Amino acid sequence: MLGGKNRTTTFGKSNTLRRANNTQARRQLELWDELQQETHHPARMATPCVALDHPSQTQSNSLPRQLIPNSHLPSTTVKTSKTEDISKTDAASSTCSSNASAQTCQSESISDHSLRTNKRLLDQLHSDPVATAQSKTIMDPLQEIFQKLDLAPDKLDIKPQTNDDLELNSASNSSLNHLLNLCNLECPIPMTHFVFGGELIEKIGEATYSDVYSMWRMSKSNEKELVAVKVIPVGQTDYGDQLSLDAVAHEIHITQTISKTQRTNQTLCSHLNFVDMVQVSVCTGPYSKQLLDLWQDFDSQKGSENMSPNEYADKQLYVIMMLKHEGIDLEHTALVKTAAHVKSVLLQVLLTLAQAEQQMQFEHRDLHWGNILINTTLLNSIEYSLSTPSINRTISVPTAGIKITIIDFALSRLEYGSELMFMDLERDPEYFTGPGPKEKDGDLQFDIYRLMREAVEKNWKQRCSKTNIFWIHYLCDKLKCVALPRSATQKKLDRLGKQVLKYNSVLDMILSEMTDTKSILFLNTKKCSRPL
């Protein structure tokens, strides 16, 4: 179940850049170990109280965390002549005792301090001449260590926490609570304790923001079913490409809504071409050993473009989505071979969108061919019901032995009851900067994002069914890869690709094209025998 930005167009891959800060931090710790080994004066080479918290954590929607695990950081004793003022500045940073001849202060573990605490300690010492003079034996080696670690006070660039910082932390907590509520959880589950409830098989694919595994499990009807386990690291932007908490909550909410309508609402039961969610949960790291073994097998056999789960923080958050396994995406399937297959794919996609447009004002907004899955089916036909003020119609579509499933609602918009769900794409300008089909390594997909942006006038909240039309235009172009060159099917796809842009909704297009004998979508229909 591949979601996110289309991998085939190498969109949004910036893991290398985002790993730079982690690499620098590890190198700093290596330098620190070297200094510890080189020194012959333990009292003078006292350990500075430093924890390498990533400076960007207050600017992201991630939960506060430490970049370096506590177990990697040494703990030592610092001797000094005067610590009274320091202990007053930050009582939590050290415990001091004094007597007539000398005063001794043992520092806490390096992991219990932050860069901010060190800055305050240094400022306090610099402001007190007596403390500076009496503490020279500590300050000289500290300054030397800071210089070698590239953590000198003049380079720390530490600012006091502002109201904006507090608001960001509050927003992060609010986003996490919303995500947990959607999953019916009070807190994240340790990933090592998560019960998958089935037999994990293998990693079957990956997208920009996730890794996908297959698993056998028993359904509620006690039948063995194949599910896709989508593991999404979320909320920490300094560890590779990760979705924000709000973005993944949006995808879950829409998927749950559509899945619910499939099970409970008879008027929407025909949405069998949308993926069905089986289970969703929020976990915290470290990564499951079962999944890690499967990830490494995939990497050794096929190579992975994603960051290894070993590189994530121990407190990394993950969303685990279990979805019914519905086959292989259109880009990689070998099932679409004939003109009948091409026609079936088009009609199933179109009628699924047309129904959803009517009933939920649905727009997918990211329907590239990685988000259309193809599987075999024993059904000879699938029926779709369309209703307008003037027409009630049931349309039966021959399957030609295949069934499509639409996945990944991360960018989608829909209205259900009193709820309006949408994603503001203006938050991620990268969508609109990819090369078009006439450019080197370009793809029509990126032109579609730009066409949508123009149609909605950068207001992604508003309804604009034309966005679905743009993706049908894209789909006609991609299906030409299946049709034989200069064949009748390819000519009809060319014609439809041009014709489609004159319509404002998929429903309008369906009602017109299915009655046109020259159209690839021409199909006999029958009037519905009962009110819809």
Tell me, yes or no, whether 126 lies in a domain.
Answer: yes
pLDDT band for position 170 (cuts 50, 70, 90)? low
- The residue type at 526: K
Phi, psi of 293, rounded to the nearest 5 degrees: -60, -40
Looking at the structure, do residues 361 and 476 belong to the same domain, yes or no?
A: yes
**Concatenated DSSP letters for 2-37?**
--SS-GGGT-S--HHHHTHHHHHHHHHHHHHHHHHH
Identify each DSSP E strand in 236-390 by its residue range.
277-284, 317-324, 328-329, 372-376, 381-387
> Quick one: pLDDT at residue 316?
93
Of the chain, the percentage scoring pLDDT greater than 70 comes to 63
Write the CATH number for 446.
1.10.510.10
Domain limit, last residue, from 102, 124, 156: 156
Q: Is the pLDDT of residue 102 over 70?
A: no
- Answer for the pair 140, 45: CB distance below 8 angstroms, yes or no: no
- Residue ranges of alpha helices (H) inside 183-288 are 245-264
Looking at the structure, do residues 321 and 358 belong to the same domain, yes or no?
A: no
Tell me, yes or no, whether 27 lies in a domain.
Answer: no
Write the CATH number for 295.
3.30.200.20
Please tell me the least confidently modeled range out of 87-101, 251-265, 323-337, 435-449: 87-101
- The residue type at 70: N
Looking at the structure, do residues 359 and 421 belong to the same domain, yes or no?
A: yes
> Quick one: pLDDT at residue 73?
40
Bridge partners, 375 (sequence order): 403
Q: Is the pLDDT of residue 113 over 50?
A: no
pLDDT band for position 219 (cuts 50, 70, 90)? confident
Q: What tokens does 46 get? A: 């006292």
Looking at the structure, do residues 147 and 187 belong to the same domain, yes or no?
A: no
Looking at the structure, do residues 376 and 316 belong to the same domain, yes or no?
A: no
Looking at the structure, do residues 122 and 199 belong to the same domain, yes or no?
A: no
From CA 104, how far away is CA 486, in angstroms rounded? Answer: 88
**DSSP H or E segment with residue 132:** helix 129-134
Average pLDDT rounded to a whole number, residues 441-461: 97
Tell me, yes or no, whether 449 lies in a domain.
Answer: yes
Average pLDDT rounded to a whole number, residues 444-459: 98
Looking at the structure, do residues 137 and 54 belong to the same domain, yes or no?
A: yes
pLDDT, one tens digit per residue, over 475-497 is 999 999 887 777 888 999 999 99
Query: Which residue carries 């995939």 as its tokens?
Result: 298
**Concatenated DSSP letters for 139-194?**
HHHHHHHHHHTT--HHHH------HHHHHHHHHHHHHHHHHHHHTT-SSPEEGGG-
How many CB atoms are closer than 10 A to CB 221? 6
Range of the domain at 484: 328-532
Phi, psi of 279, rounded to the nearest 5 degrees: -160, 155
Q: Is the pLDDT of residue 275 over 90?
A: yes
> Quick one: pLDDT at residue 127?
55
Q: What tokens does 294 get? A: 């499967």
pLDDT band for position 191 (cuts 50, 70, 90)? very high
Looking at the structure, do residues 206 and 336 belong to the same domain, yes or no?
A: no
Phi-psi region of 331 (alpha: psi -120 to 50; beta: other; left: phi over 0): alpha
pLDDT band for position 515 (cuts 50, 70, 90)? confident
Average pLDDT rounded to a whole number, residues 409-414: 96
Tell me, yes or no, whether 409 lies in a domain.
Answer: yes
3-state SS assignment for residue 511: helix
- Answer for the pair 392, 531: CB distance below 8 angstroms, yes or no: yes
Give the HSE-up count for residue 238: Cα atoms under 13 Å, Cβ half-sphere. Answer: 23
pLDDT band for position 532 (cuts 50, 70, 90)? very low
Average pLDDT rounded to a whole number, residues 200-205: 95
Q: Is the pLDDT of residue 410 over 90?
A: yes
Looking at the structure, do residues 350 and 443 belong to the same domain, yes or no?
A: yes
Bigger pLDDT: 203 vs 116: 203
Eight-state DSSP code of residue 50: -
Tell me, yes or no, whether 164 lies in a domain.
Answer: no
- 12-26, 27-41, 471-485: which is most confident: 471-485
Domain limit, last residue, from 325, 351, 379: 325
Q: Is the pLDDT of residue 4 over 90?
A: no
From CA 284, how far away is CA 286, in angstroms rounded? Answer: 7
Domain limit, last residue, from 283, 303, 325: 325
Looking at the structure, do residues 382 and 464 belong to the same domain, yes or no?
A: yes
Length of the chain: 532
pLDDT, one tens digit per residue, over 352-376 is 999 999 989 999 999 999 999 999 9
pLDDT band for position 512 (cuts 50, 70, 90)? confident
Tell me, yes or no, whether 31 lies in a domain.
Answer: no
Average pLDDT rounded to a whole number, residues 119-133: 53
Bridge partners, 413 (sequence order): 363
By DSSP bridging, strand 372-376 and strand 328-329 are antiparallel
pLDDT band for position 470 (cuts 50, 70, 90)? very high
Q: Is the peptide bond before 398 cis (omega within 30 degrees of 0)?
A: no
By DSSP bridging, strand 317-324 and strand 224-234 are antiparallel
> Quick one: pLDDT at residue 476?
95
Q: Is the peptide bond before 190 cis (omega within 30 degrees of 0)?
A: no
Bigger pLDDT: 389 vs 40: 389
Looking at the structure, do residues 200 and 310 belong to the same domain, yes or no?
A: yes
> Quick one: pLDDT at residue 241?
72
Tell me, yes or no, whether 161 lies in a domain.
Answer: no
Q: Is the pLDDT of residue 99 over 50?
A: no
3-state SS assignment for residue 522: coil
Q: What tokens does 177 get? A: 């609570």
Mean of the per-residue pLDDT values of the chain: 75
Tell me, yes or no, whether 252 lies in a domain.
Answer: yes
Which CA distances in Å does 438 have to 435, 442, 445, 487? 8, 7, 12, 24
Q: CA geometry: angle at 383 spanning 483 and 257, to 5°? A: 100
Q: Is the pLDDT of residue 380 over 70?
A: yes
From CA 295, how far away is CA 308, in angstroms rounded? Answer: 8
Looking at the structure, do residues 197 and 272 belong to the same domain, yes or no?
A: yes
pLDDT, one tens digit per residue, over 279-300 is 999 999 899 999 999 999 999 9
pLDDT, one tens digit per residue, over 45-96 is 443 443 334 433 333 333 333 333 344 444 444 333 333 443 344 443 344 3
From CA 384, how far away is CA 354, in angstroms rounded? Answer: 9
How many CB atoms are closer than 10 A to CB 408? 26
From CA 129, how far away is CA 39, in angstroms rounded? Answer: 28
From CA 366, how far away is CA 412, in angstroms rounded? Answer: 7
Q: Domains in the chain: how many in total? A: 3
pLDDT band for position 107 (cuts 50, 70, 90)? very low
Average pLDDT rounded to a whole number, residues 96-104: 40
> Quick one: pLDDT at residue 319?
97
